Amino acid sequence: NRQILLASRPKGAPTDDDFRLVESAKPEPKEDEILLKTIYLSLDPYMRGRMNDAKSYADPVELDQVMVGGTVSQVEASNNDKFAVGDWVLSQNGWQDYSVSDGKDVMPLGKNPSNPSYALGIMGMPGFTGYMGLLDIGQPKKDETVVVAAATGPVGATVGQIAKIKGCKAIGVAGGEEKCRFAVETLGFDACIDHKADDFAEQLAKACSDGIDVYYENVGGKVFDAVLPLLNTKARIPLCGLVSQYNATELPSGPDRMGMLMGTLLVKRIKMQGFIIFDDYGDRYPEFAQDMGQWLKEGKIHYREQMVEGLDKAPQAFMGMLEGKNFGKLVVKVNEP
Ligand code: NDP
């Protein structure tokens, strides 16, 4: 049983030394338990937060323990009559080959799901996040302008495509020309601006000629700086993530702009609300699954995955994601089905 452990807590961006690959014996399922073999491991930005020893909405990973993570697995042995060998489940095995479960914390995916890894992306946590944040907090109305960064990632791509389904103008922000082209040509964004461009703020202002009604916040930093002056009166900001800050060790230098931010929120009566998907919306998953299942069937939603082969590649892939090296939902294929 290969396992990737948290070897040390990163200072700033994680490095190879913060992870350690070890081999241990395959766990044995006891009475009523199942043995799960990891097929797909999801890599997500929130994992960076779990590497810190800081109080948050979830506990940190302990040093020398297996890195946490959502997984799609197959039942390899079963002492539980609710599960048969070969069944697929959505589970939380973490960064390892095998895990045992009593079956209570897993979601069955059936005997032969057509796209099992989608349960980690468009039909799972990131898709659900984009859906609830945009629709419940963002409240987009027809012809409004919706802006989202990390536009080709699983959350941002979902937000942009749902915004289009709801009749909005969708403006993406992404890193690099190739991602921006994909956002427009394949995902159907009206425009996508490269945040690495020198004149990024000017380009964004030009694309948002009627201002911004919904800014779905995934990244923070200089993208938010460019968005702030463009926000319309009564704009909504679902505060989903701040990935540009996850590796930061101190506040950015420069003048304190808190007063300006608060002043804008006040004068323009802007609503900004943070949310943690399963804590705040766990009971609304069926509603999402129904809509998203339908949209996928109708070809209204396009989904891009980046599949990395091999558990040993997980640390590099994860570190790359925090710098925008991924293109689409990052998934590790840990074992063959
Ligand atoms: P992605 O697959 O989109 O990966 C993160 C992306 O962030 C990178 O690919 C990169 O895209 C972009 N990025 C990284 N650094 C910067 C930067 N400095 N400036 C601008 N963009 C940057 O991730 P997800 O779709 O899985 O997640 C998106 C956000 O949603 C994250 O902030 C995550 O934490 C949050 N989230 C929140 C949840 C909640 O419950 N609140 C649940 C799930 C996700 P590019 O190259 O295009 O810049």
| Cβ burial, residue 25 (10 Å; 0-12/13-18/19+) | exposed
Cα separation, 275 vs 57, whole angstroms: 10
**Does the Cβ of 326 fall within 6 Å of ligand 1?**
yes
The pLDDT of residue 242 is: 97
| Cβ burial, residue 109 (10 Å; 0-12/13-18/19+) | buried
**Which ligand 1 atom is nearest residue 151's CA?**
47
Cα separation, 171 vs 145, whole angstroms: 7
> What is the number of alpha carbons within 13 Å of residue 53 lying toward its C-beta?
8
CA of residue 324 to ligand 1 center, whole Å: 8
Token pair of 226 as six digits: 């460019």
pLDDT > 70 fraction of the chain, expressed in percent and rounded: 100
Tell me: the pLDDT tens digits for 69-122? 999 999 999 999 999 999 999 999 999 999 999 999 999 999 999 999 999 999
**Which ligand 1 atom is nearest residue 243's CA?**
32
CA dist 272 to 61, 252, 303, 325, Å? Answer: 29, 21, 28, 29
Residue 295 has pLDDT above 90, yes or no: yes
The pLDDT of residue 5 is: 98
Cα separation, 26 vs 4, whole angstroms: 14
**Does the Cβ of 48 fall within 6 Å of ligand 1?**
no
**CB 53, CB 9: distance < 8 Å:** yes
Q: Residue 288: which of 76, 124, 167 has the closest Cα?
A: 124
**Does the Cβ of 129 fall within 6 Å of ligand 1?**
yes
| Cβ burial, residue 142 (10 Å; 0-12/13-18/19+) | exposed
For the chain, give every domain's residue range.
Answer: 2-121+304-333, 125-278
What CATH number has the domain spanning 125-278?
3.40.50.720
Residue identified by tokens 């990395």 is: 308
Residue to mutate, 47, 147, 155, 305, ligand 1, most ligand atoms under 8 Å from C-beta: 155
Cα separation, 156 vs 49, whole angstroms: 20
Residue 247 has pLDDT above 90, yes or no: yes
CA of residue 150 to ligand 1 center, whole Å: 5
Class of the 2-121+304-333 domain?
A: alpha beta
pLDDT band at 252 (very low <50, low <70, confident <90, very high): confident
Residue 268 has pLDDT above 90, yes or no: yes
What are the phi and psi torsion angles at 95 (to 5°)? -85, 70
Residue 185 has pLDDT above 90, yes or no: yes
Residue 253 has pLDDT above 90, yes or no: no
**CB 145, CB 121: distance < 8 Å:** no
The pLDDT of residue 55 is: 87
**Does the Cβ of 188 fall within 6 Å of ligand 1?**
no
The pLDDT of residue 105 is: 93
Q: Residue 230: which of 255, 204, 256 has the closest Cα?
A: 204
